[in-house]
Structure 1
Amino acid sequence: MAEMGLRERKKQRLYQEVSDIAVRLFLEKGFDAVPVAEVAAAAQISKPTLFRYFPAKEDLVLHRIADHEGEAARVAASEPAAPLAALRRHFLDCLTRFDPVTGLSDHPQVLAFHRLLYGTPSLVARAYGHLERSEAVLAEALGGDLDARLAAGQIIAVQRVLALDNWRRIADGARAADLLPEAVAAAERAFGRLERGLPGLRLRDDHGVTGRDRV
């Protein structure tokens, strides 16, 4: 088991190293100007090996956000009886930490990464696949039925819109620290509307109840 753990760590380290090299090249020259072969050469691996780890060129960039695909589901699962309350607290906590996932970060490296992401149409399109997977995992945690899928879609959409609005204002020159009170107020309003629109939302309990409370 220890050997398997070591192999997995080495694999994850390779993922990170190759992704870091690719992002650096993309930031220097532009996403479309850097062929995959150049990334492979810079990482000192073959092109077929690179594609085994990253099936699409866009994945070299989106690897940085892939770990967040199950985050909403994990947070919701931490409080099965009140998943929206848990998600609300988590998002607000991320805001106060200026976590890049909320869009509220003006760190130069984060700004450069977001400009690369949002300024490249193929990356934006590929990122929607990440959002769809996040939504699917959350929906499954909420029970997997239609009510759960509708709720998950609304939750992920609210988080996406809040983060995008924060990022756009940061990109226009706002400082993250100055924007924090408004970002917190916007998140409070958004999650408040979710809670009013999704009363009784909870994870599946031992009796098989899912999504919203059944009457």
Structure 2
Amino acid sequence: MALKRRLGSGNSATRNVLMDAVEAVMREDGYAALSARTVAEKVELKHQLVYYYFETLDELLLATYRRHIGRYWNRLQDAFQSERPLHAFWKAHSDPNDAVLNMEFLAMANHNEVIRRDTVEFGERVRRLGLETVNQLIKRPDRKGSEVIAPFAITMVLSSIGMILGLETSLGIVGGHEETRALIEWCIDELEPV
């Protein structure tokens, strides 16, 4: 009978340090550069510690991804609880701070079935949350044009354009951003006046 390998504590600070290292490697070198060695070297640990805290590298990547989308989910829920939820939703989606990391996780999802499954599930959950909130905002009798404005379309436009602007900004591409942001903010102001 094979002995079960001993693993480090699930709530250890070292686990979080390793997940931080995964994010740092992904931001700097891309997800293809990930290995137990590159992750451990990033935080000056021995690569064997990766396997002490996580059974496999895939388990570490999944834990890192779930932590990342958990933080993002909390930001979106906070946005939808704010006084101006569409403005806060737009701000959350157009923030360049996590744009590179988001794109790296999307690229990883193309090659990792578990990350893909979590990505699809998370994306659909975000859309449902957005649909519920946006629907309440725009489907009011006093709202001009509310019968033709689709809540899904609004959440798709805000999240898609926001993601592209965030990614381009992180790369240093800024042409047309000011005008695009002004247009989106004008549209949001029309839907969600002060």
TM-score (norm 1): 0.49
Displaced runs of 4+ in structure 1, greater than 6 A?
140-143
Query: Residue 135 and residue 112 in structure 1: after superposition, are their counterparts in 2 closer, same or farther (change >3 A)?
Result: closer
Using the alignment, how far apart are the partners of 1:135 and 1:166 within structure 2? 19
Amino acid at match of 2:87: R
Q: In percent, how many aligned pairs have the same letter? A: 12
Partner of 1:129: 121
Query: Post-superposition shift, 1:162?
Result: 1.8
Contact 2:127 2:155 in 1 (8 A): yes
- 1:67 paired with 2:55, answer no
Query: Residue 27 and residue 140 in structure 1: after superposition, are their counterparts in 2 closer, same or farther (change >3 A)?
Result: closer
Partner of 2:185: 188
Aligned length: 162
Q: Which of 50, 55, 63 is the matching residue for 2:54?
A: 50
Contact 1:66 1:130 in 2 (8 A): no
Using the alignment, how far apart are the partners of 1:141 and 1:130 within structure 2? 17
Contact 2:94 2:161 in 1 (8 A): yes
Partner of 1:17: 17
CA shift digits 1:6-46 (9 cap, x unpaired): xxxx9385554222111234456642453468757548253
Using the alignment, how far apart are the partners of 2:48 and 2:180 within structure 1? 39
Using the alignment, how far apart are the partners of 2:187 and 2:15 within structure 1? 35
Using the alignment, how far apart are the partners of 1:112 and 1:72 within structure 2? 18
Using the alignment, how far apart are the partners of 2:12 and 2:159 within structure 1? 27
Q: Could you tell me which runs of 5 or more consecutive residues in structure 1 were left unpaired when the two chains were aligned.
A: 1-9, 80-85, 197-215
Query: Residue 138 and residue 33 in structure 1: after superposition, are their counterparts in 2 closer, same or farther (change >3 A)?
Result: same
Q: Which of 78, 88, 91 is the matching residue for 1:90?
A: 88
Contact 2:80 2:89 in 1 (8 A): no
Aligned alpha-carbon RMSD (Å): 4.7
TM-score (norm 2): 0.53
Using the alignment, how far apart are the partners of 2:183 and 2:66 within structure 1? 27
Using the alignment, how far apart are the partners of 1:44 and 1:56 within structure 2? 11
Amino acid at match of 1:163: G
